Structure 1
Amino acid sequence: MSLVSLGGCAAMLRQAPSIGDPVDIVQQKMGTPTAIYGAGNDRILEYATGPMGQQTFMARIGPDGRLVSYEQVLTSEKFATIKIDEATREDVLRAVGKPAETSRVGFRDYEVWSYRYKEAGVWNSLMHVHFDQQGIVRQMMNGPDPMYEPRDRFGW
C-alpha cells in the first residue's frame, strides 16, 4: 500500500515542462507517457494518473519535436469541448486521454467511458461519455464519484 502511495507522490513531484522544450526533455521531466496520440502533424503525450487519479496531463509536441502546449485536461472546460453527435473515440482520447473505467449501457447499447475529476476544482466527480456502436459521442453525464462518498450513503 505504501508503495502505491509513494508512486502517486512521485507523479506529483515531477517538474512541469516548459513551452519549447524538446520532446526528450519533456520525457526526462515527466517520464514515459501513458499513451501517445497523433493529431495532424503533432503528437500528444498523455500522462494519466488514473484509474484513481483525477488529473491527466497532455503535452502537445509540434512537428519540430518541441513542446507546443501542456495542460491538465480533466476539467469541466475541457469536457465541454467534446461535441455530442460529432466527436469520436479518437477525438475523446486526444482531448482527455484514456478513461478511468469503461462500462456498457444495455438499453441503448452504448459504451461508456468514465473519468474522475474535480468539477469546478472542488467536487469529486465522474464524467461519463457515452458512445454509440459507430464510436460517436451521443451523450455526456456527470455526477458525484461514489469512490469519495461515505459508504453508508449507498447502503454499503
Structure 2
Amino acid sequence: MVRQLFRAGIWVLAAALLLGCDAQRISELEEGVATEADVRSRFGEPDRIWPGEAGERTLEYDRQPEGLRNYMITIGADGRMSALRQVLTPANFARIQPGMSQQEVQRILGKPARVTPWERQGEVHHVWRFLESPNRTMLFTAVFDRADRVLRTDIAPEPGPQDQGGGR
C-alpha cells in the first residue's frame, strides 16, 4: 500500500513539474512573433513534424505517458509561430470517428500514453491520459482494427490504486 502511494506521488509530482515548465515556456511565446528557433529553444526537439499543405509545419510535443497534455505548435511558411494548442481536449476527442486511420488520429492528438494489442479480438487500444477540470485524470481510448482504422472510442476515469487491488 505504501509503495503504491509512493509511486502515485511520484507520478503526480512529475506531472506537476511538466505542467509548470510548460506554462512558463508557453508564456514566453507569442503567436505571430515567435520563430521556430524560439519554439525549439523553449520546448526542444519536437517528437514529430507534420507537414502542411500551404508550407506550414506543425511541431508535435508529447507529454505522454507521465503528462496529461500534448501540444501541437504550428510554424507558418514565414517561419513564425501561428498557433500553439494543447490538443487533448473534448473537442478533439469528438473529432475521432470510426474509419479514421491511426495516422489521422495521431495528427489530431499526438502520441498516446500507451498502446495495447488485443490479438484475440483483433484490436489495438491507443490510450491518452488527460485532465478533466478541475483535477480528475481521465483516459481517452481509440480502438483500432487490424487495418489500423478506428472502430470506436471511449472516455473513462483513470483507475486509481484502489481500483487495481491496492485498496482496502
* Short-chain TM bin: 0.7 to 0.9
Distance of 1:7 and 1:123 partners within structure 2: 17
Question: Percent same amino acid among aligned pairs?
Answer: 27
Cα gap change, 1:121 to 1:39, in 2 (>3 Å): farther
1:27 aligns with 2:40: yes
In structure 2, distance between residues paired with 1:36 and 1:83: 23
The DSSP-based 3-state class of the residue aligned with 2:116 is strand
Superposed CA offset, 1:41-68 (max 9, x none): 3321112222111011110122222222
1:123 to 129, 136, 139: 136
Point out the more displaced range, 54-63 or 112-121.
112-121
Aligned length: 150
Which residue matches 2:25?
Answer: 14
Aligned twin of 2:164: 154
| Structure showing greater Rg | 2
Q: CA deviation at 1:120?
A: 5.0
**Consecutive unaligned residues in structure 1, runs of 5 or more:** none
Richer in helix (by share) = 2
Structure 2 unaligned regions, length at least 5: 1-9
Distance across 2 between alignment mates of 1:153 and 1:130: 22
Q: For 1:139 and 1:125, how far apart are their aligned partners in 2? A: 17
Give the TM-score normalised by structure 1: 0.82
Please tell me the root mean square deviation across aligned C-alpha atoms, in Å.
2.3
1:135 aligns with 2:145: no
